[in-house]
Amino acid sequence: MYFLYLDESGNESDPADRFFVLAGAAVFERVTFFLSQSLEAVQTKHFPGLPPVEFHASPIRTGRGFWRNIPEVKRLEILDDIADVIANANEPGVQLFAAAIEKSSALYGEDVVLHATEQILTRFDKFLTKRNEINDPQRGLVVFAEGRFDKRAKVWVNEFRQLGTRWGVIKNLSDIPYFASVKETRLLQVADFVAHSVFMLYERRNPSLIHKFIHRFNLRDGTLHGLRHFRPASSTGPCDCPACYNWNHQGRFGLGSRA
């Protein structure tokens, strides 16, 4: 069983954000404990003896809330340590997935979230199908961070399972999606970190968080399947983001490979 932990970054209805990102990590059932413990080790290193500190990427980076009085150099070190945890996680026990949707007049608001959800679940389902093809039969369970889309996401996922997506029926999910608070599980904090890292890459062209683990997005034969960039139909010219660049330069990641 693989658990797909998902969180979003960016606002689907705010014109100030060009992108909406849905992203996270698929974690094999026997790896969940070890990935959580690796993040606990980051807390022990930096905040020994304190109650659990929530590793929420955006407040750490910008110094909000709890992080306001933490020196920037320490916050950057913590971000670097979390990126290392993701980069060094078990392979193939941890696979990253993300959809970066570039909004337009034709794709905006709730439709953006639906499109991202459909794309991520399709990619996850294909990953599980590939595991089955190599005699490692696996099922999947989706865990969303609690947010604005709980009820709608349940409907969407059930429709994907029963009626299919534009790419076919979702075959390998074992149950309805579940929802949990980011502060209650380190694994949703991983999803939060991945989503924010992807958003920073696309919205700000800042690969400083993602460059260490860009290679951990689901990858087959040098082709990046776990990260997708959706551009408006009116877009022209090449894109140097990892998702677009990799399709033309197998095994290379463009902007995401640079610190």
Rg (CA), the chain: 18
Mean pLDDT across 238-257: 83
| Calpha distance 195→10 (Å, rounded) | 9
Judged by average pLDDT, the poorest of 153-167, 185-199, 217-231 is: 153-167
Amino acid of residue 27:
V
| Calpha distance 43→62 (Å, rounded) | 18
Identify the residue with better confidence: 66 or 166.
66
Give kind and range of the element (H or E) at residue 111.
Answer: helix 110-133
- Does the pLDDT of residue 30 top 90, yes or no? yes
Mean pLDDT across 52-56: 96
Which pLDDT score, from 0 to 100, does residue 221 have?
A: 84
Mean pLDDT, the chain, whole residue set: 90
Which pLDDT score, from 0 to 100, does residue 259 have?
A: 40
Q: What is the pLDDT of residues 142-190, one digit of tens each?
A: 999 887 666 667 666 666 665 555 656 778 988 878 888 999 999 999 9
Is residue 34 within 8 Å of residue 186, measured between CB atoms?
no
Which pLDDT score, from 0 to 100, does residue 8 have?
A: 92
Any residues with CB less than 8 A from the CB of 6 and at least 6 apart, and which? 22, 23, 24, 120, 142, 143, 144, 145, 191, 195
| Calpha distance 19→198 (Å, rounded) | 10
- Does the pLDDT of residue 7 top 50, yes or no? yes
**Among 91, 76, 81, which residue's Cα sits nearest to residue 26?**
91
Which pLDDT score, from 0 to 100, does residue 161 have?
A: 62
Which pLDDT score, from 0 to 100, does residue 111 have?
A: 86
Sheet order of strands, 140-145 included: 178-180, 140-145, 2-9, 19-28, 94-102, 227-230
**Among 90, 92, 88, 95, which residue's Cα sits nearest to residue 33?**
90
Which pLDDT score, from 0 to 100, does residue 162 have?
A: 59
Which pLDDT score, from 0 to 100, does residue 50 have?
A: 94
Mean pLDDT across 204-223: 93
Q: How many helices and strands in the chain, by DSSP H and E?
A: 7, 8
Hey, what are 89's tokens? 């996680």
Identify the residue with better confidence: 248 or 211.
211
| Calpha distance 182→174 (Å, rounded) | 22
| Calpha distance 140→145 (Å, rounded) | 16
| Calpha distance 209→78 (Å, rounded) | 11
Mean pLDDT across 66-91: 97
Chain centroid offset of residue 180 CA: 16
| Calpha distance 95→183 (Å, rounded) | 22
Q: What is the pLDDT of residues 10-24, one digit of tens each?
A: 998 899 999 999 999
Look at the alpha carbons of 120, 219, 214, 138 in this order and tell me if their dihedral is positive or negative.
Answer: positive
Q: What is the pLDDT of residues 105-135, one digit of tens each?
A: 888 888 888 889 889 999 999 999 999 999 9
Which pLDDT score, from 0 to 100, does residue 167 have?
A: 56
Domains of the chain: 2-257 (3.30.420)
